[in-house]
Amino acid sequence: MPRLLDENAGLGLRLSKHVAGQELAVSGVWGSLRGVFAAALARHASSIFMLFPEAADADVVAGDATAFGVTDAISLPLSASEASASSIRDDDYADRLQVLQRLVAQEPDSAAPLLVTAYVGGAMQLVPTPEKLEASTRRIAVGDEVDPETIRRWLAESGFSATTAVQLPGEFAARGGLLDVYSADQPQPIRIEWFGDEIESIRRFDPGSQRSIESLEHIEIAAVGIEVDQRYENDDAFLDSGSHDSGQGAIEDAIEVASGDAPVATNECQDLGSIAEYLPADTLVVVIDPQACERTADALKKRSGDEANLMSFESLLESLAAFRMVSGTTLAEGSQSDILDLHSTTADGFALSLEETRSRLDSVAKADEIILVGDTPADGERLTELLHDTDAARQGRLHLVVAELSGGFRLADARVLVLTGAELFHRSPVRRGRSRARGKPISSLMQLDPGDLVVHLSHGIGLYRGLKHIEKHGQHLEHLTIEFDGGTKIYVPASRIGLLQRYVGGTKTTPRLAKIGGQSWARQKKAAESAVTDMAVELLEMQAERTARRGLVFDADNAWQRQFDASFPYVETPDQVTAIATSKDDMESSKPMDRLICGDVGFGKTEVAMRAAFKAVVSGYQVAVLVPTTVLAEQHYNNFKNRMAEFPVEIRKLSRFCTAAEQRETVKDIKRGEVDIVVGTHRVASKDVSFNRLGLVVVDEEQRFGVAVKERLKTLHSNVDVMTLSATPIPRTLHMALVGVRDISNLETPPAERRA
């Protein structure tokens, strides 16, 4: 594709005659074509620096360019905390530092061109000078003789925080002969291991699992955050974490260093300069929509004042004047003779029904080659299946490519049309999240606050009163303090935290604290065990009855199902793909489905349920969606209606938001089989609601229903398929899933830009 801009628009020829001091103006540069433009420029320069008026554009174009062959593309954002005390732990600052390091490492005439896309505000923001960056960077190699204490002290003086386990940039943790460092210029933290004073190994590791990823021979650590004077109250500030009597180790030391008369932070403005100082001499500077860039820059400068370390837009252009300059605009600005026009147009108008889309593709393919871009291999297979029997495909004028592209376009001179899911199926453009590794999620037991009710396995309900350090055999160990009735306290070693769990009450009243030495807790446990056994027997009998019966066998996916799946406006996460596939397999088997879809809010449980519901409807069955509140019923009703608007699916709701007359009419239509999907509260499980051909029951937030309500539909229709959605499944449901009584699908992967 980039080659076409050389062959049909003459871009390469114009660039060959382009020298510094001249400006080459190009029109028709917009949307995802900016990625093609960047890739085409990379054929004629070893470094490209592109300026954009919008921050999101810099990220999108960097991603689009990779789809067209650019292997090294990075984005320069604007940092809110540049050169401040918190900058070393700021994601944007970390990204900026990685860009600087990458520019420093760029070799002249490199075989792999480097593309740097920059928000104009990010380019205006001052950066540490190359001299400052070099002075603040330390190279460490395997076999080096270096005192570990020297490295720890250097990190602390540079603004790093000491902690017990690194999770974020700007943190370090020392444990004996190990030092973990999360430098802002690195995508993952680094683990350095000493043998005496000799560095034995250097490894990258995952901060979530704490497991090593790869071994390195050397590493450069940049500590450009804040300058810290070397003044300490004691010499033990950065000794081995966990070796202090307080038990807090390096955490307390870091707090001490960051406060009071400890090291003083200073911001040396004389060490800041322009991003232009880092650009290689043969860099091609590209300004996308110069007028919009100038407006954005002026507004940002006016809004930020002088404290944000921002140069003016004019000063930025002056600093870049020594490089070759190219401007890219959507429409021509100025004399046509001075402008190179790419003759590009939009690719709108394909978001139609499947048959209309196929017909339109056949018509366009008579004159143009059509390139279909799927976001994932699964998406590519789906597109191939939907369109393989079109005339365009049979004639070889329909080509499939799997890549992440923000949108489609048409190159008129080259007679090429590029289409993505955005044009074909109303799908939202791909948004790319950060590649920085995620930290480890906090365990619920780590979130105990003093005053919380807990249950001790042997003694019963007590109050958690915090941590206490107790000396045993010459060692200071952490203990959890639990208070019981009468003020009696028991100290549980942190290593035996498994004896405790949060108290989850079944009533609104506060329970009485257990009495140490009494028999009431033993009697309560025995009664609970008996009740649980009775319930387990009942549930297992019902589950055994469901398993023994032949369930409903739903039809395999047909063209409608594939079209519905393809119209999902986002890219499915890997966990969603797995959950959808397993639930469809369940529905197509003769065993009644009973599957728990477990995932955090926003992880895509509803879409899994919608795929299953649509499959049931296409197979001729009705679907009941049970939700706990009227507001949630309204939300799900609207979501189902919007998602299935292009298909003849009758969807109704049953809740307090419906009048009595509407409810009566809906109940009658459900019985007659005229309603395909009903979304409602516990009203759906009422005795007067009789389904004509119920095939699937979806229960959302099942932890907010009583057992009787949830099991009524399964009792009345013991052969129907059941799907349960929950972010926080109750212990009964979770246990049934874990022991195999129910199947479970976990959605653990967040969608792009959704944080865990």
Looking at residue 645, what DSSP letter applies? T
pLDDT band at 16 (very low <50, low <70, confident <90, very high): confident
259-312 confidence digits (pLDDT tens): 333 333 344 455 888 999 999 988 999 999 999 999 999 888 888 765 558 899
Residues 34, 103 contacting (CB under 8 angstroms) = no
Taken in order 121, 123, 129, 135, is the CA torsion positive or negative?
Answer: positive
Let me know how many helices (H) and strands (E) the chain has, helices first. Answer: 23, 36
Measured CA to CA, the distance from residue 535 to residue 741 in angstroms comes to: 14
Confidence of residue 101 (pLDDT cuts 50, 70, 90): confident
Question: How many angstroms separate the CA atoms of 209 and 221, rounded?
Answer: 22
The reported pLDDT for the residue numbered 380 is 77
pTM for this structure?
A: 0.63
pLDDT of residue 97 exceeding 90: no
d(CA 251, CA 650): 60
| 222 bridge partner residues | 137
Task: Please check whether residue 421 is in contact with residue 15, taking contact to mean a CB–CB distance below 8 angstroms.
Answer: no
Please, what is the angle between helix 605-618 and helix 559-566, to 10°?
A: 160
Q: What type of residue sits at position 617? A: V
Q: Give the pair of three-digit tokens for residue 578.
A: 């797995």
Tokens 């009584």: give the residue. Answer: 741
Over residues 412-420, the mean pLDDT reads 87
Q: Coil, strand, or helix at residue 325?
A: strand
More confident residue, 197 or 496: 197
Q: 738 pLDDT band (50/70/90 cuts)?
A: low
Which residue has better confidence, 232 or 637?
637
Please report the pLDDT score of residue 384 as a whole number: 81
Residue 476 has pLDDT above 80, yes or no: no
Task: Grade residue 253 by pLDDT with cuts at 50, 70 and 90.
Answer: very low
In this structure, of 203-207, 210-214, 554-558, 662-666, the range with the lowest mean pLDDT score is 210-214
pLDDT at residue 334, rounded to an integer: 54
Best mean pLDDT range from 44-58, 254-268, 721-735: 44-58
Please say whether the dihedral angle defined by the alpha carbons of residues 6, 338, 34 and 414, taken in this order, is positive or negative.
negative
Of the pLDDT bands very low, low, confident and very high (cuts 50, 70, 90), residue 429 is: low
Token representation of residue 693: 């051909």
- Per DSSP, 434 falls in state -
Report percent pLDDT > 90 for the chain: 21
Residue 260's pLDDT is what?
35
Q: How far apart are CA 682 and CA 701, in angstroms?
A: 12
Q: Give me 686's structure tokens.
A: 């009422």
Residues 629-646 have a mean pLDDT of 89
C-alpha torsion angle, residues 127, 133, 135, 138 (rounded to 10) = 150
At 428 the pLDDT is: 61
SS3 600: coil
| Residue among 596, 579, 587 nearest 724 (CA) | 596
Q: Which residue has the tokens 């900016």?
A: 34
Asked if the model's pLDDT at residue 581 lies above 90, the reply is yes
**Higher per-residue pLDDT: 438 or 571:** 571
- Pairwise pLDDT comparison (747 vs 556), residue with the higher score: 556
**What are the distances in angstroms from CA 487 to CA 12, 119, 481, 512?**
83, 61, 11, 13
Greater model confidence, 260 or 185: 185
- At 668, the pLDDT band (50, 70, 90 cuts) reads very high
**pLDDT, mean of residues 478-483:** 87
Q: What is the pLDDT of residue 246?
A: 33
Decide if 618 contacts 560 (C-beta within 8 A): yes
Angle at 29 between CA 27 and CA 33, to 5 degrees: 145
* Mean pLDDT (whole number) for 42-52: 91
Most confident of 325-334, 344-353, 712-721: 325-334
Does pLDDT of 431 surpass 60?
no
Nearest Cα neighbor of 598 from 749, 380, 430, 447 is 749
How high does pLDDT run on average in the chain?
79
Contact 262, 233 (CB under 8 A): yes
pLDDT over 50 (residue 243): no
Q: Has residue 238 got a pLDDT over 50? A: no
Better-predicted residue by pLDDT, 155 or 715: 155
| pLDDT reported for residue 226 | 41
| Cα gap 491→485, rounded to integer Å | 15
What letter represents residue 454's amino acid?
V
Rg of the chain in Å (alpha carbons): 32
CA angle, residues 438, 443, 448, in degrees to nearest 5 = 135
In this structure, the chain runs to a length of: 756
Tell me what pLDDT residue 292 has. 92
> What is the pLDDT, as a whole number, of residue 554?
94
Q: What pLDDT does 355 receive?
A: 80
Give per-residue pLDDT as tens, 495-512: 777 778 777 665 556 788
Give 316's pLDDT tier (boundaries 50, 70, 90). very high
Q: Is the pLDDT of residue 248 over 60?
A: no
> How does residue 709 score in pLDDT terms, banded at 50, 70 and 90?
low
Mean pLDDT, to the nearest integer, of 445-455? 72
* Interatomic CA distance for residues 438 and 724, integer angstroms: 28
The answer, yes or no, to whether residue 95 has pLDDT greater than 70, is yes
- How many CB atoms sit inside 10 A of residue 429's CB? 18
User: For residue 293, what are its two tokens?
Assistant: 């860039």
DSSP 13-76: HHHHT--TT-EEEEES--TTHHHHHHHHHTTS-SEEEEEESSHHHHHHHHHHHHHTT-SEEEEE
Contact 626, 724 (CB under 8 A): no
Q: What is residue 229's predicted lDDT score, i.e. its pLDDT? A: 34
pLDDT-derived band at 478 (thresholds 50, 70, 90) equals: confident
Which candidate, 386, 402, 713, places its Cα nearest to that of 565? 386
All residues at 6 or more sequence positions from 624 whose CB lies less than 8 Å from its CB, including other chains: 678, 680, 684, 691, 694, 696, 697, 698, 713
pLDDT confidence tier of residue 257, bands split at 50, 70 and 90: very low
